[in-house]
Amino acid sequence: MIRQFELLELVQAYNPNTDVALLNRAYVYGAKAHAKQTRASGEPYFGHPLEVAAILTELKLDDATIVTALLHDTVEDTEATHDELRTLFGEEIAGLVDGVTKLNRLEMTSKEQEQAENFRKLLLAMAKDVRVILVKLADRLHNIRTLGPLRQEKRERIARETMEIFAPLAGRMGMQKIRDELEDLCFEVLNPEARTSIMRRFLKLRREKGDIIPNITAMIEETLYDAKVPAMVMGREKKPYSIWKKMEEKQIPFSRLSDIYGFRIVTEDEAACYAAMGAVHKKMRVIPGRMKDYISGPKSNGYRSIHTTVSGPGASRVEIQIRTRDMHEVAESGVAAHWSYKDGERSQNPFAVEPSHWLSGLLERIEKGDTPSEFMEQVTLDMFHDQVFCFTPKGDVYGLPRGATPIDFAYAIHTRVGDSCVGAKVDGQRVPLWTRLRNGQSVDIIRVEASRPTAVWMDMAKTGRAKAAIRRALRMDERGEHIRRGREIARQSFARRELDGGEKALETAARKLSMPSVDEMLAKLGAAEISGRQIVGAVYPRILEKEPDIAQLGAQNGKARVLVVGAPASLPFVFAPCCEPIPGDRIVGIRDQGVVTCHSIDCIELTSHEDHMDRWIDLKWDENAIHIGRATNVDISLANQAGALGSIATLIGEHGANIENFATLDRLPDFWRLRVNLAVRDVKHLSSILTALEAQTIVTDVKRVRAESR
């Protein structure tokens, strides 16, 4: 365990003007608070806060952060209080400790709702003061270093959580050194066999070729000396996890992996960086397509460096990173470089990103998802993926996750640009929208204002921002269709009873049903969440007193018909939009929140009601239901040729069915995908129509769309 004077020496080494009294006071307070506690290993618990503080001294952080590390577990694990810390150490330190305490209480569980909410809290804590996350990352790093005494199950859980959340977060903050160590330690816990195998292959390589790192280092140093470029050269073997990840991504064995060695050239200034690159390229053969200039186009977390890969001794590929000293500091400590000290003063590193600017950009890209799964999808896609940088024709740069497409690029520019995108040119050549973009490419988006996103874009888009925007556009389109459908149902419901169903009647119904607007009411009606009978009843309640309280979802010759038998007359009744049962389907009712919803017996939504069998109601179709029928959705893929759509419509009409509505899901040069809302009598009627459609040469696929196939 590090001792008090040793911690002071570590801080004074970079900050001679440190507040020694404050650090000593925090040390004594923390030691007393944790005096009776021990860790799982049996060691004194206070050794953990001390080691966390020591890790943060490597980042040369300010006194407040070091003191927070010493006290970060006191409020949670001892009798210490927030008020007491505020009195003894001030508002700033008390606030930082409180922030870390709240993060410690977040458990990243496998439950989607809880994990999404916890991650939102983590982002909010970062927004308040990024130093809270710096302490948390140091805390997690020391915990990972000391997992040994824990049960294997707990070790794996902590390692998996670290690999999924904290290691990528450290990388996104530019703290590459901490990320590398977190990943490698977790890799040792989660896949020890793979790590051991890679270590053995490194040993074998050293026996066969010797330790080639000093040889290549000497070669680069000699090259730079001859070119009169002052620089420091550092070489290393890449971490086992980094090697394994590349093997998995590229599906190649260790023997075929090229750049397993990495070298860094640290120069005095930017001009020397480019001079060093030129000298290295003149001495060693450059590997085409492996040069990236993050000095002229830095990453959002402040990272700047030139990356190039050359052919070294024995045809081995060598990756070289070239940067200045200030750039190297930011590359190692990322956002933390904003607080670093030199000689007792805050270091004014010109490349350190202002944390609030960095975080606001991050939060802007991660828009709030409509559901927990959508939010976590956006976090995973936009926050934890390596980036590529592409240019607009005007030279503006946009960072995107690796694997992004022109659709992602369009939405990165603006939502309107994405919504109206119809094509793209990459480096002047027209490309499909599903093309994966590469670093440094120029992307020109082709737009048509009247164009709208299609469902197939969800599979093409890779960024959370694009997926969220597409999802919103599709929902708006679907909502518009529901409103149109609802307006027609309402018109028929009023007309059938020879009642006035004008706009004023609809406004009255919306008010009586506590709907925020007429459109909201019609959208719910079109989505089968409420019935036309409910709307009529809101305006003319006495007119319906003599009508039976039944499910009415069809009409023939303007007369209401009974469709379902068995539902309580005292409760509202609706058909479930998820499975859209039609006469002939086996059906069951679910009583929930004062409404009976009719489902097909094989609807996957019923699984959520298995724990409440008392809510299930036996239902059956009325004998006259076949004469009324219901509408259901059918997806059809057919050849994109003249007359195809007309032939399908004619065939459906010949079979005595009616097309209530249809929408184009996708339209490509060779085929269409349509969703047809089809009014049929029953299951047998639908089956005969599907069989007839399948027999057509222009039809490649046809199926009824229900919950299990969506």
380-389 pLDDT, tens digit each: 555 555 667 7
The answer for residues whose C-beta is within 8 angstroms of residue 689's C-beta and 6 or more apart is 634, 652, 655, 657, 678, 680
Mean pLDDT of 620-642: 83
Mean pLDDT of 195-202: 87
Instruction: Give the separation between CA 383 and CA 378, rounded to whole angstroms.
Output: 8
Nearest alpha-carbon partner for 477 in 419, 542, 410, 531? 419
| DSSP code for 530 | S
Residue 247 has what pLDDT? 81
Q: For the chain, give every residue range classified as CATH 1.10.3210.10.
A: 4-190
Residue 554 has what pLDDT? 36
Residue length of the chain: 710
Residue 543 has what pLDDT? 66
Mean pLDDT of 68-77: 92
**Tally of helices (H runs) and strands (E runs) in the chain:** 29, 25
Task: Considering only residues 500 and 210, tell me which one the structure prediction assigns the higher pLDDT.
Answer: 500
> Of these residues, 19, 58, 77, 520, which one is catalytic?
77
Mean pLDDT of 162-171: 83
pLDDT tens digit sequence for 30-41: 999 999 899 988
Residue 124 has what pLDDT? 66
Q: Is the dihedral of CA 461, 467, 472, 475 positive or negative?
A: positive
pLDDT tens digit sequence for 577-600: 888 899 999 999 998 877 888 899
- Outline where 513-618 has alpha helix (H): 518-526, 532-539
Mean pLDDT for the chain? 83
Domain 196-346 classification at class level: alpha beta
Hey, what amino acid is at 619? L
Hey, what amino acid is at 688? S
Q: Is the dihedral of CA 136, 137, 143, 146 positive or negative?
A: negative
Residue 281 has what pLDDT? 93
Residue 708 has what pLDDT? 46
Q: What's the Cα-to-Cα distance from 239 to each of 202, 246, 267, 326, 698, rounded to whole Å?
A: 11, 11, 24, 24, 56
Q: Dihedrals φ, ψ of 371, to 5°?
A: -130, 160
> Is residue 40 within 8 Å of 80, Cβ to Cβ?
no
Residue 22 DSSP SS3? helix
Instruction: Give the separation between CA 23 and CA 9, rounded to whole angstroms.
Output: 11
The answer for residues whose C-beta is within 8 angstroms of residue 330's C-beta and 6 or more apart is 174, 302, 303, 304, 337, 349, 351, 352, 353
Query: Which pair of structure tokens corresponds to residue 455?
Result: 């469902």
Q: Dihedrals φ, ψ of 38, to 5°?
A: -130, 160
Residue 553 has what pLDDT? 36
pLDDT tens digit sequence for 259-281: 678 899 999 999 999 999 999 99
**Tokens 């309280």, located at residue:** 549
Residue 108 has what pLDDT? 47
- Give the fold, CATH level 3, of 4-190: Hypothetical protein af1432 (1.10.3210)
Give the start-end residues of each E strand in 125-256: 231-237
Q: Dihedrals φ, ψ of 6, to 5°?
A: -70, -40
Instruction: Give yes or no: 374 in active site.
Output: no
> Is residue 622 within 8 Å of 554, Cβ to Cβ?
no
> Is residue 276 within 8 Å of 320, Cβ to Cβ?
no
Residue 425 has what pLDDT? 92
> Is residue 392 within 8 Å of 413, Cβ to Cβ?
yes
> Of these residues, 6, 9, 76, 396, which one is catalytic?
76
Q: For the chain, give every residue range classified as CATH 3.30.70.260.
A: 629-709
CATH label, 629-709, candidates 3.30.70.260, 3.20.20.450, 3.90.1820.10, 3.40.50.1950 = 3.30.70.260
> Is residue 464 within 8 Å of 471, Cβ to Cβ?
no
| DSSP code for 463 | S
473 pLDDT above the threshold of 90: no
Q: With bands split at pLDDT 50, 70 and 90, how would you rate the model's confidence at 710?
A: very low
Residue 552 has what pLDDT? 40
Instruction: Give the separation between CA 592 and CA 582, rounded to whole angstroms.
Output: 21
362 pLDDT above the threshold of 90: no
> Is residue 493 within 8 Å of 558, Cβ to Cβ?
no
Residue 548 has what pLDDT? 44
- Outline where 497-557 has alpha helix (H): 503-512, 518-526, 532-539
Query: Which pair of structure tokens corresponds to residue 74?
Result: 């006191």
Instruction: Give yes or no: 477 in active site.
Output: no
**Tokens 């009627």, located at residue:** 685
The answer for residues whose C-beta is within 8 angstroms of residue 475's C-beta and 6 or more apart is none
| DSSP code for 580 | -
Q: For the chain, give every residue range classified as CATH 3.30.460.10.
A: 196-346
Residue 547 has what pLDDT? 52
Ranking 364-378, 404-418, 491-505, 647-661 by mean pLDDT, the lowest is: 364-378
Mean pLDDT of 677-691: 89
Residue 314 has what pLDDT? 66
Q: How many CB atoms lie within 10 A of CB 13?
A: 11
DSSP-assigned letters across all residues of 381-408? HHHSS-EEEEE-TT--EEEEETT--HHH
> Is residue 387 within 8 Å of 437, Cβ to Cβ?
no
Q: What is the CA radius of gyration of the chain?
A: 33
Instruction: Give the separation between CA 72 and CA 132, rounded to whole angstroms.
Output: 10
> Is residue 550 within 8 Å of 564, Cβ to Cβ?
yes
Max mean pLDDT among 66-75, 439-448, 551-560, 569-578 falls in 66-75
Instruction: Give the separation between CA 585 and CA 578, rounded to whole angstroms.
Output: 14
> Is residue 563 within 8 Å of 550, Cβ to Cβ?
yes
Mean pLDDT of 165-174: 82
Q: How many CB atoms lie within 10 A of CB 343?
A: 9
Q: With bands split at pLDDT 50, 70 and 90, how would you rate the model's confidence at 305?
A: very high
Instruction: Give the separation between CA 282 and CA 482, rounded to whole angstroms.
Output: 66
Instruction: Give the separation between CA 28 and CA 74, rounded to whole angstroms.
Output: 12
Hey, what amino acid is at 557? N
Hey, what amino acid is at 439? N
- Beta strands at 231-237 and 261-267: parallel, antiparallel or unpaired: antiparallel
560 pLDDT above the threshold of 70: no
Nearest alpha-carbon partner for 268 in 322, 321, 340? 322
Mean pLDDT of 87-96: 92
| DSSP code for 44 | B
Hey, what amino acid is at 386? D
Instruction: Give the separation between CA 698 and CA 637, rounded to whole angstroms.
Output: 9
Nearest alpha-carbon partner for 402 in 389, 413, 386? 386
Query: Which pair of structure tokens corresponds to residue 174?
Result: 């530019």
pLDDT tens digit sequence for 539-549: 887 766 555 44
Instruction: Give the separation between CA 99 and CA 104, rounded to whole angstroms.
Output: 9
Residue 434 DSSP SS3? coil
Instruction: Give the separation between CA 708 and CA 710, rounded to whole angstroms.
Output: 6
b/e burial code for range 231-248 (CB count within 10 A of at least 16 → b): bebebebbbbbbbbebbe
Mean pLDDT of 362-387: 57
Q: Dihedrals φ, ψ of 306, to 5°?
A: -100, 130
How far is it between the farthest Cα atoms of the chain? Answer: 102
pTM: 0.57
Any idea of the CA torsion for 325, 328, 334, 337, to the nearest 10 degrees?
A: -20
Instruction: Give the separation between CA 12 and CA 15, rounded to whole angstroms.
Output: 5
- Outline where 265-414 has alpha helix (H): 270-283, 325-333, 355-365, 372-383, 406-413
